[in-house]
Amino acid sequence: MLQLQDAGFSYGGRDILTEVNLDVAPGSFYFLTGPSGSGKTTFLRLCYQALMPTRGTLRILDRDVRGLHREDIAQIRRRIGVVHQDCKFIDHLTMMDNIRMPLQVSGRAGELDDANFQDLISWVGLSSHMNALPPELSSGERQRAALARAVVMSPDLILADEPTGNLDWEMAQKILTLLVELNKMGKTVIIATHDLQLIRMAKAQVATRVLRIANYRVQQAGADL
């Protein structure tokens, strides 16, 4: 699914990540921890090719990212769903249209029929908000809409950057439950978070691996979480 070998990323002559060696198997569930500014978001951006490693090797979905054409990168990205921390939407479009947007952009608008789309909206608990505009939703509703948008194209890999960072604990549990359900469907999930309570809750539901970024390196976390 995802392999990094001696991979690293530098910006302006400063190391952000270095000597990253990791093999993420299909269907696995990872947490990525570390203090703010440690490189969690940079790691995720490498995983969906918003950034390219400045050294080492990165393979995504069995493709070496070096030398890929733009069309190849676009094809890989269609198999990756990303939940960003800031949950940006187009405010003058309904949530239904915002969630459908990845299908429209990729030319696959006809692949998801109304019944399956309704099932997706119901799954995230937004059936009564499909025609609402983004500013009308609470932070928890926006986060669930962001998750629906990330999975509307049925990706193989789901990356979530602090998906519960601005939510109360009850809503954080709901978001985690949805991500665990996706993993049980066979999706690979990587969540960047500083919330150790969230990690402990997930460990009780599904087999998880925990990584910690320290000193620019991605390391296996200890068992004391």
Q: Which residues pair with 23 in a beta bridge?
A: 3
Sign of dihedral through CA atoms 172, 188, 2, 143? negative
Q: Both tokens of residue 57?
A: 């090797």
Which CATH number describes the domain made up of 1-79+158-225?
A: 3.40.50.300
Render pLDDT for 40-92 as a digit per residue (tens, 0 to 9).
Answer: 999 999 999 899 999 999 999 888 888 788 888 888 888 999 998 888 899 99
pTM, to two decimals: 0.92
Residue 77 sits at φ, ψ, to 5 deg, of -60, -30
Give the dihedral of Cα atoms 224, 140, 116, 208; nearest 10 deg. 0
Alpha helices in 78-186 (DSSP H): 95-105, 114-123, 139-151, 169-184
Please determine, for residue 94, whether its predicted confidence score (pLDDT) is greater than 90: yes
Q: How is the chain split into domains, by residue range?
A: 1-79+158-225, 88-154
Average pLDDT of the chain, as a whole number:
89
Residue 180 sits at φ, ψ, to 5 deg, of -65, -40
Percent of the chain with pLDDT over 70: 96
* pLDDT value at residue 224: 55
